[in-house]
Amino acid sequence: MAVTPLASEPAQKERARDWRWVKSRLRGWPWLIPMGLIAISTIYPIFFTINVALKTKKAFVMGRFSLVSEPTMQNFLRAWNTAKVGTYFWNSLIVTVGTVILLSIVASMAGYAFAQMRFKGNRGLFLVILAGMMIPIQVILVPFYQLILKTHLLNQHIGLILSYTAFFLPFSIYLMTAYYSGIPTDITEAAKVDGASLWGSYVHIILPLGKPALATLAILNTLYSWNDLLVSLLVMQDREVRTLMVGIAGLRGEFISDVPVIAAGLVLGALPVIILFLIFQRQISKGMTMGAVKG
């Protein structure tokens, strides 16, 4: 009777290691189904909108859920020119760029002051600014609109830029203060001993060190400004000065029977944000947790 030789010790260890690897892989399988469903629920609306935007009006009526067979770009041209999405796009671009620049300058200076300087009322003033993050915009819409009217900023690009700056400033200051607090004060103190002025320390030391936070802040404020509808709807009421989100929302009333044009407008409005997110998604994720790890 033949006796089966016992497996060698290295072979046994290899099989055990392979089994542990298989078990570690199987442990994550139960999460695949719910995560896959969430991914599908997120991707499908985007796919459906693009699919509709590439159809003719007749093709959409004949089969709204069918795949496009003869794609056309005419809907995008009509949305850009006839529906004035091009005008809305440039209005949003002007407002977004102006808001991001102004917020970056003010928030960076304020963050430097709160994080690196010591003055009377420092902590109290910072807490008052943080309290602004807890006030919903809807609560102050009436006095806000009255202020816009009294200052003659209605239907003005600068009016919307200043409005966004006021609403987004508390979070921006908090983010920059949290980041600058992680910079040792010994650096600025050494610069002061060497004869550097307050402004010189900020420009030559703090500002270069704060570039990662400023980049994150610029991306987040770009997304907020570009996607906003409520504040823009109050400040920019004339059709010629509407921002992209307000203009696209109005397409439903003007082109109610031409859904592919509306879909094309939605794609044009979402495309810059999607591209920005895909390029800077790591920076955005980092910025969301920056305040939690810096203090």
- The conformation of residue 212, written as its DSSP 8-state character, comes to H
Residue 65, in any domain of the structure: no
Residue 64, in any domain of the structure: no
Domain that holds residue 229: 75-293
Residue 89, in any domain of the structure: yes
User: For residue 194, what is the domain's CATH number?
Assistant: 1.10.3720.10
- How confident is residue 293, by pLDDT bands cut at 50, 70 and 90? very low
Residue 18, in any domain of the structure: no
Neighbours of 90 (CB within 10 A): 11
Separation of alpha carbons 241 and 250, rounded Å = 13
Amino acid sitting at position 120: K
Whether the CA torsion 64, 66, 67, 71 is positive or negative: it is: negative
- Among 31-35, 174-178, 195-199, 243-247, where is mean pLDDT lowest? 31-35
Residue 43, in any domain of the structure: no
Q: Given this model, what pLDDT does residue 41 score?
A: 87
Residue 100, in any domain of the structure: yes
Residue 11, in any domain of the structure: no
Buried b (16+ CB within 10 A) or exposed e, 207-232: eeebeebbebbbbbbbbbbbbbeebb
Mind giving me the DSSP string for 245-273?
HHHHHHHHHHSTT-HHHHHHHHHHHHHHH
182-206 pLDDT per residue, tens: 888 888 888 888 887 888 888 888 8
Tell me how many domains the chain contains.
1
Separation of alpha carbons 279 and 284, rounded Å = 10
Residue 3, in any domain of the structure: no
